[in-house]
């Protein structure tokens, strides 16, 4: 009976976590904040798209991008050696309570020192949902004590502050097509190399031209990609769209195109024969 009770509590906990994550709704715009060399401020708009009152605490997280993807949160000692933006950014307000459908503007004010070294500084701005839900499993016949669940969800966006001119180099070092037959999918694998103190922001796109020379067709894309200075090399995968990769003789053109402040810039392009 005890084993069954423990399993039941686990199922309740799992289902509660899933429902809470699925129903939590916060619209953040933009999802990447940039304060350029001569700019002093920026703003982020939050909208509560749920049907409940939500409270969010706004705080800084210091993250480092990993070559394999994702981030590593830095310790205090590691953050001291990393070009963080948070010491130079004032955030107001630092906590908000939003009714359903309500909007709030978060103001970001940059305070650069006069002797600030040229380069790029970055921190992540997090929005932590304070618990306002409780789930209680009351004592059953076996005397299992009640349980309260307070879950905190957080959302984080990169906040970039730049000083001086942009400095970067970028190249697509290798491209190949990887057919994963067991999963019935095809990936376009793109290896990149980069250097310099400035991050890049853009979209990967892939176009296939049949061997007969007919019109090229877009077969893959990966949008809104941040490539940070600490990532010298990385591999990206674009899913081959539309249909299975079979008898696709011809040529594949892959490029990385800038967006936002890099609008209309093609960082690099490569063409391979299939």
Tell me the domains of the chain and their CATH numbers. 25-163 (2.60.40.10), 169-273 (2.60.40.10)
Provide the pLDDT for residue 147: 44
Who has greater pLDDT, 141 or 229?
A: 229
- Give the mean pLDDT of 217-244: 93
* Residue 180 scores a pLDDT above 50: yes
C-alpha 159/C-alpha 86 separation (Å) is: 8
Q: How confident is the model at residue 25 (pLDDT cuts 50, 70, 90)?
A: confident
The two tokens of residue 202 are: 């853009």
Q: Could you report the per-residue pLDDT of 198-217, keeping only the tens digit for each?
A: 999 999 999 999 988 788 99
Q: How confident is the model at residue 81 (pLDDT cuts 50, 70, 90)?
A: very high
* Residue 218 scores a pLDDT above 80: yes
C-alpha 206/C-alpha 228 separation (Å) is: 22
Q: How confident is the model at residue 84 (pLDDT cuts 50, 70, 90)?
A: very high
C-alpha 3/C-alpha 5 separation (Å) is: 5
- Give the mean pLDDT of 228-237: 96
Q: Whose CA is closest to 94, among 84, 106, 83? A: 106
Q: Could you report the per-residue pLDDT of 52-64, keeping only the tens digit for each?
A: 999 999 999 999 9
- Give the mean pLDDT of 245-268: 92
Handedness of CA 117, 40, 65, 154 (dihedral sign): positive
Provide the pLDDT for residue 233: 97
C-alpha 105/C-alpha 117 separation (Å) is: 30
* Residue 134 scores a pLDDT above 70: no
* Residue 188 scores a pLDDT above 80: yes
């Amino acid at each position: 009976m005890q084993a069954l009770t423990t399993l039941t509590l686990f199922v309740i906990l799992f289902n509660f976590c899933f429902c809470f994550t699925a129903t939590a709704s916060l619209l953040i715009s933009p999802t990447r904040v940039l304060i350029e060399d001569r700019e002093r401020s920026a703003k982020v708009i939050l909208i509560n798209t749920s049907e409940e009152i939500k409270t969010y605490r706004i705080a800084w997280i210091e993250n480092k991008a990993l070559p394999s993807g994702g981030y590593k949160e830095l310790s205090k000692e590691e953050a001291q050696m990393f070009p963080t933006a948070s010491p130079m950014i004032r955030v107001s307000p630092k906590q908000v309570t939003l009714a359903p459908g309500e909007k709030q503007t978060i103001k970001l004010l940059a305070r650069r020192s006069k002797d600030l070294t040229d380069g790029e500084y970055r921190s992540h701005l997090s929005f932590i949902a304070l618990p306002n839900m409780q789930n209680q499993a009351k004592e059953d016949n076996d005397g299992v004590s009640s349980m309260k669940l307070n879950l905190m969800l957080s959302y984080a966006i990169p906040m970039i502050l730049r000083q001086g001119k942009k400095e970067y180099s970028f190249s697509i070092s290798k491209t190949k097509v990887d057919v994963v037959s067991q999963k019935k999918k095809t990936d376009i694998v793109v290896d990149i190399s980069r250097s310099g103190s400035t991050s890049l922001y853009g979209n990967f796109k892939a176009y296939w031209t049949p061997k007969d020379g007919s019109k090229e067709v877009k077969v893959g894309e990966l949008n809104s990609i941040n490539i940070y200075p600490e990532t010298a090399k990385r591999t990206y995968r674009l899913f081959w769209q539309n249909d299975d990769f079979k008898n696709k003789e011809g040529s594949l053109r892959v490029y990385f195109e800038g967006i936002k402040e890099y609008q209309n810039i093609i960082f690099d392009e490569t063409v391979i024969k299939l």
